[in-house]
Chain A
Amino acid sequence: MNLFNSFAVSSRVRGVIKHNLRRAAVLTLGVVGAGAGGAALAANPTSAIPVLNAASGVTLVVVNANKAMHDGQNVPFWVFCQQGGGGGGGMGGGGCPLSGPTLELGVGQTANVTLNMMMAPQEQPPYQGHTIHPHGLDVPQSEDGVPETGAPVLGDTYTFSVDTRYVGSHMYHCHVHTVKHLEMGLYAGFVVKAVDNAGNFLNVISQNGPTYDYEWNMVLSTVDPAYHTQNAVGDSTVFADYNPKYFLINGNEGLSTSAPADTLTAATGKKVAIRLIGLPSVNATFQVKNASGSAQSFVVYNKDGYALPTPQTVSSLVLTPGTTADVMVTLPSSSSTWYPQVTYKNLRNAGTYTNGTVYTKLTF
């Protein structure tokens, strides 16, 4: 057996290339961060989920993370994390938050995302390993991260590009034994951006859509702690039912308006694009309410990452599992506080859950 075969050599070469791409990523992100293509203002959601340029050579790892819930229960998660971006073992301390990093990809640019499996926590065989499945993007089967159709599970590099149809919000998640791995936290947002002639991201909500001033990614998810136990593996009967106990936006519970899951501070009169990335295993109703509790109208531009033929003005929007929506709110000219919120509902009977409404806060 030869340990130094051509594959091993090519792996090292790829590593050098990736190192250079990571250096390039720092430069590229600097340009993007400057808000190319419009009057971009710094968005500052407090959840601080990293946003990475998928075209710049991102390497992700999977790490253990524990989250203490409001009732004191400690729930173990697995999360995607940028390699070298912080250790696991905790959330909210600048480590690896739930969800994983949001990946952004410009139209016509090539995603270059590597999943490093060396230290990843895993399920026991035959469900060991992880993948990155770009949910909602039509990519070559070899880059789709679906083990059942041949995707490697012990680490891979995903390269693909998308066209203008996909400008909007999507998601990625692990597709190994999805019923377990998705629930464990292996998910995140994937946003396709329109670009200018120089390749800089544009602040438009769809390819030919309106501009926005702020962008707020909201990853919606739910937690059934029974799925997170050591017995919930393989063909366990635990997976025969789903009873969520915790409800999240960007990995936080947000039990009340005074303890929101995430907060964005914006200027009056500006437009805020809210990207709703639906990863719960139940239905979710999104609303924006003012300080008096009145529902505010907002405009839906994209569903599942595709622009609607005609934008829809609504005051409530239902997201089913695995779907996304890109909506826009226009802030009044006078200062106030709004509370974008999601109410999770039982798939069987549309019943509400205890603590099933998650609040965020939009101050302007």
Chain B
Amino acid sequence: MSCFDPFRSSASAGRCLRGLLVLSGLLVIGACQSGVRDSDRVASKPSDPFDYNYCGGVPVYPVIGVNFSTFCGPRNQIAVGRYGKLMWLFPAPDGQHVLAQGERQLSLKELKRVSLLAEVVQLADPEPLSQPGAVNYRMGINFSGRPSKRLHAILIDAYSPAHELFQALLDLVPDKPLLPGCQPEASFFDPSLLPGERRPLSLSAVNDYQRYSNVAE
């Protein structure tokens, strides 16, 4: 079975893609170290007809979305588009007006790093949710030609693939979101909802979301 077979089984795909990941990681590191510039993003035909990283001769990147907030805070959003545009929308405390909003085209170096981190999240196991925290986030990743990956996570200091990607996206945004402390606090909630719509979720409910996400794989 080819690593590029879009109809592969998830188990064998995991093995194939882990191998691919190591290779692509080496390639990315090599590319970054060689100082590739934006002007090098010259459209060219893919050499492999199953290479889903091209669309009409233009390189494409994973679509990434993150909604995050504290329990009482506004719904913050970051997204990366298929052509590598970073977008963010951070509301003011009232949730109805803009605190900061913007977009910018990521450089090739930034895109390679974000893509690699997203690749790891795509392959990783679900985030552990044993530790409560103030900031909940829901993240989704879609590589062209692959099933989407979705997860619900709690931001903590420990390493996880999703935290790493989330932090990388935050670092790329020139503005800072509002993440106010809340009383009462809730450990698990849906940050994609508006503050007035949020209800505390049970851990099992969050895990249900995780399971559903994995089924979608």
The chain A residues found within 8 Å of chain B, CB to CB, are: 1-3, 5, 7-8, 11, 117-119, 122, 124-129, 147-155, 231, 234-236
Contacts and interface: CB of A to CB of B under 8 A. Distances in A.
Contacts of B97: 118
B150 A234 contact: yes
Contacts, number: 113
B194 A154 contact: no
B100 interface: yes
B80 to A, nearest CB: 9
Contacts of A126: 63-65, 79, 139-142, 148, 150
B85 interface: yes
Contacts of B99: 3
A231 B215 CA distance: 12
Contacts of B91: 118
A358 B38 CA distance: 54
B174 interface: yes
A240 B131 CA distance: 37
B115 interface: no
A154 B77 contact: yes
B192 to A, nearest CB: 6
A1 B85 CA distance: 19
A129 B67 CA distance: 10
Given A1-B175, A125-B66, A126-B79, A152 B100 contact: no
B182 to A, nearest CB: 19
A19 to B, nearest CB: 14
B191 to A, nearest CB: 10
Contacts of B88: 154
B62 to A, nearest CB: 8
A193 B174 CA distance: 42
B210 to A, nearest CB: 12
A1 B139 CA distance: 23
Can you list the 9 inter-chain pairs with the closest CB atoms, starting with the nearest? A125-B65, A125-B140, A126-B140, A126-B65, A154-B89, A150-B83, A7-B102, A1-B176, A126-B63
A11 B103 CA distance: 12
A122 B63 contact: no
Nearest to A149: B83
Contact of B98 (A11, A234, A235): A11
Contacts of B77: 128-129, 154
B87 A153 contact: yes
Contacts of A1: 173-176
Contacts of A124: 67, 138, 140, 150, 192
Nearest to B80: A126
Given A126-B64, A152-B85, A154-B87, A5 B175 contact: yes
A125 B175 contact: no
Nearest to B171: A1
B87 A5 contact: no
Nearest to A117: B89
B101 A7 contact: yes
B46 interface: no
Interface in B20-67: 55, 63-67
Contact of A154 (B82, B95, B96, B101): B101
Nearest to B85: A150
B65 A129 contact: yes
A77 to B, nearest CB: 17
Contacts of B192: 122, 124-125, 128
Given A148-B82, A149-B83, 5 more contacts: A7-B102, A124-B192, A125-B150, A125-B192, A127-B140
B180 interface: no
A298 to B, nearest CB: 41
13 contacts: A1-B174, A3-B99, A3-B100, A8-B98, A118-B97, A119-B194, A125-B66, A126-B63, A152-B87, A154-B77, A234-B140, A234-B148, A235-B148
B81 A152 contact: yes
A118 B148 contact: no
A11 B142 contact: no
Contacts of B100: 3, 5, 7-8
B63 A147 contact: yes
A7 B62 CA distance: 25
Contacts of B194: 119
B79 A119 contact: no
B158 interface: no
A5 to B, nearest CB: 6
A150 B66 CA distance: 17
B167 to A, nearest CB: 14
A2 B63 contact: no
B11 interface: no
